[in-house]
Amino acid sequence: MPDKIIGIVAAMEQEAQAICPVSEKSMLGKFELLSGILPDGNKFLCIISGIGTERAKQAATLLADKKPSLILSAGVSGGLARGTAAGDLLAASTIHSELTDFEPWHESDQDEELRNKLLPAYGRIPSGPMITVSAPVLTTKDKNALHDTTGALAADMESIAVATAAATAGIPFACIRAISDGADRAIPAESLNGVTPDGKTQLMPILKAIFTHPTLIFELIPMGMDYSKALKSLGKIFI
């Protein structure tokens, strides 16, 4: 029986490398693609979409053309629920969005069946509602408010688009996210300049921001440590 293929959509290069550390690189359209074999012998194709729903939907649609058995949206997310901490893994049971272009996603029986077979770790991960937003949620006040109004445990900027592309192609979908900033962690807006639209990191804008506002480093250092915890957790998805 041929090995099954798990399609993975990750917004950022660092996320993809954390999830799939041993892989071969190629291109699928304008997107970088990592491929290889998982510990259980199944194959993976991990496409790096870049930031936002438009790029995520494009990337997921291309990935769906490869006919994977399951499409997984994976990466880091901002925690919304009080008590979420950096490094926590969360699985989505539903995904809503403030973006009107997308219908909510609810896990189906087929989704559950396939992710139980192909993602053994899924059953050990707490699950609940998530939300896809159009812009990062930076302040603790906004995080708490978004949780209180929607019930979402975490927020990202891509998963609803990936879920939509998977549904359109008739492919089961799952979503696992690692918390990079807990509900009690505010994110300085300057940190957003360190990520390009195609999901790569760039250091120079951050260094310039620190030069202009030296005290910023005291916010960025713990934020970076939390981000590292999230990446480490992403590496456990297929273990």
Q: Which domains does the chain have, with CATH numbers?
A: 5-234 (3.40.50.1580)
Question: Using CA atoms, how far apart are residues 85 and 178, in angstroms rounded to an integer?
Answer: 9
The span from the first CA to the last CA of the chain, in angstroms, equals: 22
Instruction: Give the per-residue pLDDT at 121.
Output: 86
Per-residue pLDDT tens for 96-131? 998 989 999 999 999 999 999 999 888 899 999 999
Instruction: Give the per-residue pLDDT at 123.
Output: 84
User: Which residues does the chain have with pLDDT short of 70?
Assistant: 1-2
SS (H, E, C) 72-103: EEEEEEEECCCCCCCCCEEEEEEEEECCCCCC
Instruction: Give the per-residue pLDDT at 1.
Output: 42
pTM for this prediction: 0.96
Query: Is the C-alpha dihedral spanning 158, 163, 164, 170 positive or negative?
Result: positive
